Structure 1
Amino acid sequence: MTGYADDLTLAHLLADAADAISTARFRALDLRVEAKPDLTPVSDADTAVEREIRALLATHRPGDGLLGEEYGEQPATGPDGRRWVVDPIDGTKNFVRGVPVWATLIALLEGDRPVAGLVSAPALGRRWWAARGAGAYAGPDAGHGTPIRVSGVRDLADASFCYSSLEGWEQAGRLDAMLQVMRDTWRSRAYGDFYGYMLLAEGALDVMVEPELSLWDVAALVPIVTEAGGTFTTLDGAPAPGDPVSGDISAVATNGPLHADILGRLGRATAR
């Protein structure tokens, strides 16, 4: 076991509590949904999950910091400056429409580096987790995980390529490049949100890209992809998750052999 074993145990406890709340509200007839200032939806399940996770962390890790999508930043008070980053429901648009592809994302950061991550998708009956130096795993719960590994595909013509949507790439001036990548790959699908990254970590697809993200969207995904043997950078080729201070966060996640090719085609250095 690694130095993060206790943290992963806690992450599973947080996920268990989150799952109990979110599954009870999924497809609920009285689900309350509002629009945030950025016009993205937030449901009563999002806020309830984050409140519960905050309460549990206050009990189990009172000195750790916390950044959550719905309630913002709580600075660390402990000497090591560790912080948890939480997206209570990643895929809220799916959640509110009854689509089962959504998850709670839980990450532990040391400085700006994610060292442990967990993704729990209870409507899919699946969970993924990893910690630095300990490998990546997937299964229905902590007691039934099996190791996962990225694919060995080396040629883009043989690759399954995944993305979230085309709108962001159009706004970034990279739509033509994206369409060309889609033409050049064996298969392309827009699974979106956390799910593409988890399929990549399992070896079910080979590339997942997004042009603009928040820290809570990506922090939990980085350890899982990299511990499964993949490569995860920003569009600039910098180590993921990028620069949370400036908000310059993007994602290029691959099985490794395809990374340089994808960066060369989509990276910001070649934009416009």
Structure 2
Amino acid sequence: MDDPAARSKWQDDLDLIIEAARQAGEVAFSYFGQAPEVWWKNEGSSPVSAADFAANDRLRDILMKARPHYGWLSEETDDDPDRLARETVFVIDPIDGTRAFINGEKTWCVSVAVVHQGRPVAGVLVAPALEEEFWASAEGPSFKNGMPIRVSGGDGSELLIAADESLIKKFDSPFRERVRRIRHVPSLAYRLAMVADSRIDGTVVKRDSHDWDLAAADLILERAGGRLADLDNRPLTYNRKSVNREVLVAGAEHAISSLLPRLLGGTAG
């Protein structure tokens, strides 16, 4: 990753996925507010719309034509174990925040990452309804609409986080008084982007998130000075056989150092 050829390669991949995500965003946005057909998967617990499939098709057409030797992992494509043998993989969520999308809420995004040897090296989130784009590569800063972004510094007084109210109620009283909770944002990728953009200090991710929810936003957060970690305080490795995750914590360092000990205390159900 330190040689110029590698740096050039990831920038080329970033340029590719930004363009692909923009096109997929245009496809998805054409369905937004138009009551697209919706189906339910995972025993009726998770919605998927015609817009998800259409955006997924556009992404696959562009990306796999450009990089046919890469693996492919997408929420809306049947998983092919061939990806496990690939050193570099696209990790895709054509619409992260489908519930928001079908309810006419603007906080949804197209999430595209390039993962190399288990870690994201290029990532982009395109939120067409909000006219926002976030992106990063492994060797540069994170950007929102072309401007560099950084996580919050924190002054030790208030901690602004995205987390279930039931979880916050389990925190010790002195800490709970410092915490202010934001209104729920259905898109996990967008919540992580909010941390990267210093709009919130951190978030707790409940178990059963998936790699496609996380990979692009993980890199954007990292290059903005924050972290996404498991409860052992380790970074995530991607392109494993299992794409499901246990409880995670994300934030600026001051938020993680405050949240992690309390989550380890058994408060993260």
- Does the C-alpha gap of structure 1 residues 231 and 263 become closer, same or farther in structure 2, counting only changes over 3 Å? same
RMSD between aligned residues: 2.6
- Does the C-alpha gap of structure 1 residues 207 and 231 become closer, same or farther in structure 2, counting only changes over 3 Å? same
Which of 210, 217, 221 matches 1:225? 221
Contact 1:240 1:251 in 2 (8 A): no
CA deviation map 1:216-252 (0-9, x unaligned)? 1111111100100112201332212579434334431
Q: Give the match for residue 209 of structure 1.
A: 204
- Does the C-alpha gap of structure 1 residues 46 and 16 become closer, same or farther in structure 2, counting only changes over 3 Å? same
Matches within 5 A, 1:28-43: 28-29=34-35, 31-39=36-44, 40-43=46-49
Q: Give the match for residue 191 of structure 1.
A: 185
Q: What is the TM-score normalised by the length of structure 1?
A: 0.85
Contact 2:33 2:102 in 1 (8 A): yes
Secondary structure at 2:124 match in 1: strand
Separation in structure 2 between the aligned mates of residue 187 and residue 199 of structure 1, nearest angstrom: 15
Query: Which runs of no fewer than 5 residues in structure 1 stay unpaired?
Result: 140-144
Deviates more, 1:248-257 or 1:182-191: 182-191
Q: Give the match for residue 233 of structure 2.
A: 237
- Does the C-alpha gap of structure 1 residues 178 and 270 become closer, same or farther in structure 2, counting only changes over 3 Å? closer
CA deviation map 1:107-141 (0-9, x unaligned)? 111122112211110000001001112110011xx
CA deviation map 1:135-159 (0-9, x unaligned)? 10011xxxxx01001111042x322
Separation in structure 1 between the aligned mates of residue 174 and residue 51 of structure 2, nearest angstrom: 37
Secondary structure at 1:195 match in 2: helix
Secondary structure at 1:220 match in 2: helix
CA deviation map 1:147-201 (0-9, x unaligned)? 001111042x3221113x45xxx6xxx5753586983334211234222211111
Identity between Structure 1 and Structure 2 (%): 30
Q: Give the match for residue 142 of structure 1.
A: none
Matches within 5 A, 1:138-177: 138-139=144-145, 145-155=146-156, 157-163=157-163, 165=164, 176-177=169-170
Count of aligned positions: 258
Q: Give the match for residue 245 of structure 2.
A: 248
Contact 1:235 1:250 in 2 (8 A): yes
Deviates more, 1:237-246 or 1:64-73: 237-246
Separation in structure 2 between the aligned mates of residue 95 and residue 132 of structure 1, nearest angstrom: 30
Which of 47, 56, 63 matches 1:50? 56
Contact 2:100 2:107 in 1 (8 A): yes
Matches within 5 A, 1:31-180: 31-39=36-44, 40-74=46-80, 81-139=87-145, 145-155=146-156, 157-163=157-163, 165=164, 176-177=169-170
- Does the C-alpha gap of structure 1 residues 51 and 180 become closer, same or farther in structure 2, counting only changes over 3 Å? farther
Contact 2:75 2:92 in 1 (8 A): yes
Q: Give the match for residue 14 of structure 1.
A: 20
Secondary structure at 2:59 match in 1: helix
Contact 1:161 1:185 in 2 (8 A): no
Q: What is the TM-score normalised by the length of structure 2?
A: 0.86
Separation in structure 1 between the aligned mates of residue 192 and residue 211 of structure 2, nearest angstrom: 15
Deviates more, 1:121-130 or 1:48-57: 48-57
